[in-house]
Structure 1
């Protein structure tokens, strides 16, 4: 936990699975970047412990061996090295990492179309971002900590970044923890999603399970046949009639005799409706940003 005059981070409990991509999502000011700075020992918690790759962070010992296993790209570029050329910073960085792979660094620069001879302060925001990503990936870290990795990238560069991160994950038992507000990035990369708001973790979810569980259904009473006309009739289904629906999040009248319900247990909710004799006239899976908004709302 970390306390500041106008913001409190935590208490946080988070176990990131090794060998997977975990994305932290949430509104601006949730505490995502503050969490990354704590993990990198750039700031200290007031209470609690932090562990990375099996080692405790911030206990006053030499952590150089631990940090050689980590690649960290913060949200904001370091303004103090703006006067350095990319080639110079790369040579300096290589001295700190025994696993530095110059060929891999050059390959990434070519793939990202980055000119390393430029001074860092003269690079565009997107080019600087790609340079920093190439720099941290070139030594093959066990863990990548990426704070808004696609910030400033155009769509083509973003697709290349996604491809390179997939490539990185294929080469061994590696882990990515990233903070992002790009939902397509989460859907294409993440195995697990952590929802964060107001300095607190709302929950951690397996991505595919989360996306398949949250649905909106349009539910009405079963149609009763009228032999004289061969048609049917139905009355309005009131929201009160579906209060026992599994995983119910919202229920409201939708017109046409139906009730619009949102659930976080789609399969169980559909089965329940059929058991109750309710007719499902339509349904759709919720988008990730809709799910995140509802999770945050219900946590307040």
Structure 2
């Protein structure tokens, strides 16, 4: 698919105590997609599979129109930037400048001016050994390296880990600026809700190794709402008939709190009901509440 940055079909990876997949997923080019899920859900494993750092047991992965794991991939990886969740300990004895000198050899589009600008903005001293950098400084250095060759696809695994609030805001600005050029794509794994809300165009929920859904962010946040409905004290309502129904609980007296994943249709359904019901108020769910519903659904609680 020409408009897909990532296309995954029938992907399965089995380990002794964990199975990832089967996954069917298409991530579009030119947008920021956040992969969201609890720790241990398989987000980092998925990133390693995308980069051919681990092998699947089944399935097919394509990045930027090229199949992963089909042979020589130097040219493909030159089009990709990656910041892993954990820094590589074996590099601790290298100075930042030494790692940069090594890394730049593999990227024909390496922009030394952009690299130097990012170091200045992030206040990173490349003369320091990587092992002597704080966690936040190391994170900023890794991000500068990943962006310096101006990749088409940027993969970020928990990009803000270790960043203080000022550095976090700067990272958000840098990533917005990176996306100014058409055709660039970011896929990031994150558990920072505000980060996802400020950056993402699409959200993918991953729980227990399964992709539970991919949503356009604004449509997701507009659709998932808690509706407070006065049932009128009449016959009990069958709330399960409501479009997008997720749960219903008594809020107070004859008022119910009904959670739906399709608020516009749910409101139309309420208006068409012959029963004496009245919508009192509504409230959008926060992203962490939506994630919790997905987790409970995966665990069979809902």
Q: TM-score range by the shorter chain?
A: over 0.9
| Distance of 2:214 and 2:189 partners within structure 1 | 13
Q: Deviation of residue 172 (structure 1)?
A: 2.7
Task: Verify: 1:171 aligned to 2:168, yes or no.
Answer: no
Query: Residue 37 of structure 1 corresponds to which residue in structure 2?
Result: 48
2: CA distance, partners of 1:241 / 1:140:
54
Give the aligned partner of residue 225 of structure 1: none
Partner SS, residue 217 of structure 1 = strand
Q: 1:82 aligns with which of 61, 84, 92?
A: 92
Q: 1:168 to 1:255 in 2, by over 3 A?
A: same
Partner of 2:136: helix, strand, or coil? helix
Matched, 1:70 2:80: yes
Aligned residues: 286
Is the 1:220–1:237 contact (alpha carbons within 8 Å) kept by the matching residues of 2?
no
For 1:100, the equivalent position in structure 2 comes to 110
Q: Which has the higher strand share?
A: 2
List alignment gaps of at least 5 residues for structure 1: 222-233
Greater alpha carbon shift after TM alignment, 182-191 vs 88-97: 88-97
The aligned counterpart of 2:261 is 264
Q: Distance in 2 between matches of 1:160 and 1:107?
A: 13
Larger radius of gyration between Structure 1 and Structure 2:
1
Out of 152, 156, 163, the position equivalent to 1:153 is 163
Report the Cα distance in structure 1 between the residues aligned to 2:125 and 2:179, rounded to whole angstroms: 26
Give the Cα separation in 1 of the matches to 2:240 and 2:211. 27
RMSD: 1.2
Provide TM-score, normalisation by structure 1: 0.93
Point out 4+ residue stretches in structure 1 off by more than 3 angstroms.
Answer: none
1:5 paired to 2:16? yes
Per-residue CA deviation, residues 28-80 of structure 1 (Å, 9 max, x unaligned), is 11000000111111110011111111111112x21110000000111000111
Could you tell me which of 230, 235, 241 is aligned with 2:233?
Answer: 235
TM-score normalised by structure 2 residue count? 0.92
Do 2:207 and 2:294's aligned partners in 1 also have CA atoms closer than 8 Å?
no
Q: Is the 8 A contact 2:95 2:126 kept in 1?
A: yes
CA distance in 2, matches of 1:162, 1:190: 11
